[in-house]
Amino acid sequence: SKELAKNPLESCAAKLTQEKQTAYDQFIDFLIGKRFSDSTVKVYGHFVLGFLKHSHDTSLKELNENNVRHYIETTVGTLNYAVSTHRQMVSSLKHFAFFYPACSIHTDAIYMPRKDKKLPVILSVEEILRLLKITKNLKHKTIIAVLYASGLRVGELITLELKDFDFTRNQLHIRNSKGRKDRYATIAVSLHPLLKNYHDAYKPKTYFIENPKGGPYSANSIRAFLKKGCTIAGIKKKVTPHSLRHSYATHLLEHGTDIRYIQELLGHSRPETTMM
């Protein structure tokens, strides 16, 4: 997450006591043992490490919900976290309290803010075409086209490998996605020439979109060129890679595709998520 930038409240010089370092290491093992995704382990670990540093020399057994409240209020107030990030922070600290019951943290006393109920940003078909037209870089154009035409999450795109393409069936095999689920997404036939041009030009070895230095491409790089492209295209909406996925689903619905099928294509567990 972009919001997990360096926290000025968590000094590099601040060192954990041996007790807290051991507890932190064991907490990470606990999360891995529960089969949480790498990103969840990273985010939860980030917040718990910050909390343990913020509590200074207070022993683990003496930590209570007031310590948690002070850490959350100070951090959220300083860094102006979004509600979603605030909720991740609370969730991580509740998991830590569950993992380390010897502490004095009463999880019911930790306030969890309600989720935002914002409608997603949707681009029109004309705006999508305009964005593709002004994008001259072949790799960038391919990324935008696949995110939209296959309805992928940005994390799914950057982990997509060449072996996941089945052009005979026009399908993409999305592996171990959100919720540890596999699914199939579609490859639009109209994308075949663009995909061939991209492959011939860049010759990726393992990942479909590769970092020039090797390994998968950066999600932040995609966000950056997409933002720049929207500015050039005169699109004033706040567009993210996920906006392309939302647009894909909305355009399918507007063309009469059944909502249950759209749910399947997107890999949603609940139809309510797709309806939103």
Q: Are 95 and 31 in contact (CB under 8 A)?
A: yes
**pLDDT higher than threshold 70 for residue 12:** no
Over the stretch 134-184, which tens digit does the pLDDT of each residue have? 999 999 999 999 999 999 999 999 999 999 999 999 999 998 777 667 889
**pLDDT higher than threshold 50 for residue 254:** yes
Over the stretch 34-50, which tens digit does the pLDDT of each residue have? 988 888 999 999 999 99
Q: Are 53 and 8 in contact (CB under 8 A)?
A: no
**pLDDT higher than threshold 60 for residue 52:** yes
Q: How far apart are the first and last CA of the chain?
A: 23
Q: Can you give the pLDDT at residue 14?
A: 61
The pair of structure tokens assigned to 199 is 């492959």
Q: Which residues contact 152 (CB under 8 A, 6 or more apart)?
A: 146, 160, 172, 174, 185, 245
Q: Can you give the pLDDT at residue 146?
A: 97
Q: Would you call 3 exposed, middle or buried from its count of C-beta atoms within 10 A (0-12, 13-18, 19+)?
A: middle
Over the stretch 206-226, which tens digit does the pLDDT of each residue have? 999 999 888 889 999 999 999
The pair of structure tokens assigned to 103 is 């502490």
**pLDDT higher than threshold 90 for residue 194:** yes
What residue has token string 């507890």? 23
Amino acid identity, position 41: V
